[in-house]
Amino acid sequence: MARTREFDIDQAVDRAMDLFWRRGYTETSLPDLLKELSVGSGSFYAAFGSKEQLYLRSLERYVSLQHSDLAKTLDETPEIRPAIRKVLTSLIEMDAADPTRGCLVINTATQCADRPSAAERVNAAIRQVDSLLAGALERAQARGEISSERDPRELARFLTTFIQGIRVVGQARMGRDFVEDALTAAMRVLD
């Protein structure tokens, strides 16, 4: 008779995501994961397959949460400039609150670049941010908020790159004034 699983997979992925986010992929060992998830190795392998597979699921969960928040802010804030400022300010606030964590996507890009499956997911995550921003900028241009001479795709790529940079600068603890000055300059690209 097969045993029933005694833990919630979604909660386990969230807990693993938090652990990987705090410690990084390499510094998180299998015993660390087993302890954090309160599972035995057999249950772990049956549920997740491997540490790398769990990491990728954790990364997907992180990306899903972040992109959901981004889409919500872009959809619910009526004008593009306040929406973009709100998105960028929230990232600055997150990094100020806990600069050691940074962004799990950026952490993955720098710590797991040699792993093709991780690199593919990072690429997809960044492209999704770009796509969400481009769509919002296109809608804003149709409403007349952005000059018809501006290319929404180029603006989205700049902002996507800027977001990744903000996350790195946040981890470097450059300080609030530094990132606020950069934010002010970045907002000018929408003029």
pLDDT of residue 41: 92
Q: What is the pTM of this model?
A: 0.88
Mean model confidence pLDDT for the chain: 92
Question: Chain-centre distance of CA 145, in angstroms?
Answer: 27
pLDDT 10s digits, 102-133 = 899 999 999 988 899 999 999 999 999 999 99
Q: Where are the alpha helices (DSSP H) in the chain?
A: 9-23, 30-37, 41-48, 51-76, 80-97, 104-111, 116-142, 152-171, 176-187
Instruction: Give the domain ranges of the chain.
Output: 55-190
Q: Identify the pLDDT of residue 153.
A: 97
- DSSP 8-state code for residue 5: P
Matching CATH number, 55-190, of 1.10.357.10, 3.40.109.10, 3.40.50.360, 1.10.10.1100:
1.10.357.10
When pLDDT is cut at 50, 70 and 90, the band that residue 2 belongs to is: very low
What are the tokens at 172?
């470097």
Residue 19: what pLDDT?
95
Query: Is 1 a residue whose pLDDT tops 50?
Result: no
Contacts of 135 (CB under 8 A, 6+ apart): 74
Compute the Cα dihedral for 69, 74, 89, 186 and give only its sign: positive
Task: Name the burial class of residue 91, with classes exposed (0-12), middle (13-18) and buried (19+) by CB atoms within 10 angstroms of its CB.
Answer: buried
The label of the residue with tokens 């959901």 reads 68
Residue that is written with structure tokens 């690209």 in the block: 189
pLDDT digits (tens, 9 = 90+) for 16-71: 999 999 999 999 999 999 999 999 999 999 999 999 999 999 999 999 999 999 99
Give the Cα-Cα-Cα angle 65, 66, 71 (nearest 5 degrees): 100
